[in-house]
Chains A and B, each alone.
Chain A
């Protein structure tokens, strides 16, 4: 393989196609296949320039047309498999220049690692072979500052990587705008746990309810729902819920083009995400785990009544103030008679004296005395874009529904806290 490519073009290809190999999952892999998992596959011919990488959780394929006018000139077709991190660093540090990637094959491949292929019955040996070196050179052609650099990286045998077929038999679920996916993630991404051994509270569920598409996340005691605006949905073909680990969905959001539509398909425990030039395959938990994520119908069909509409800054001010003493729970006393809200926090362990702050001139619909999680409410206010926040409560007072006045896409539910420290307050 022999390719000349603009640094910016290669950088863009790597930012998308190498995302799996550059992830922590891949870079910290210590399995016998680690060398290949940490590598990217670059294939170039007169039609396309393709960068691919993959881990057990995610595989990515990014392809662009090989056009000289776009800065890609394929002198000789071929394929290389090179260590991703080193190749990425070299590209990044090469500055705005033209890069030359050239494969020099070894007369005899060298075995760099021998591993047992445990999946085969006969335990045949699988070897990782170095088939050559990839010579890398840079040429900067600025008038006053001409520089040139050379380096080389090992090239492993591309045939040792399994060919990924991107969802030919998969069932299309839905298609939305790329920016909507990014928005959805930024709206609900603050809720999931960093790690959940049951695998659903560190993930984002995508569910369909009443012909609307929702992204949902929960940590068990709160739930954030993001309703994708109808005009941004190209189509919903299936109501099957999907569950994607937040960390993987973040990587997807990082590589997609926000101006293009993004399509989600599902097949045999795998989710396929496609955009023009970009194909991804994500691991999906099995059905039992997907079903563990509660149906959002439970929340959406529950009747909530308006409690108060408040200025976001004012509510935030109250919450931040009392969080000095207790960021996990505070007593919210709504008095309709004088239209005031008093937020009071007491602390466990006798460290602090109780703290309280009052807001008045509110338009309350009823009296209420509720203990809510201050930290959870602060989190919700951070993503609610509206100036005015609506707080709604159900008949049993067990939760609170937080919504932006002009933004009905984000619906945030928090459960009340039972804390007997507030009994006598």
Chain B
């Protein structure tokens, strides 16, 4: 199954891209996705436990994915 990973701001700079299609095993969790990202070039610049949203809602590392989700890795927000 695939998920779409979105990266923003400093995290997009770190990995050099703002969207990645990831092929992942059924039953994968947000934590698994983060592990994959950390192993990519520049992934060592992500914090150990970044904020994540699944389909535009804040989610925990243990959230299980069904495939087709939009998984966004959210840097510290700074609106206003």
* A in complex with B: no
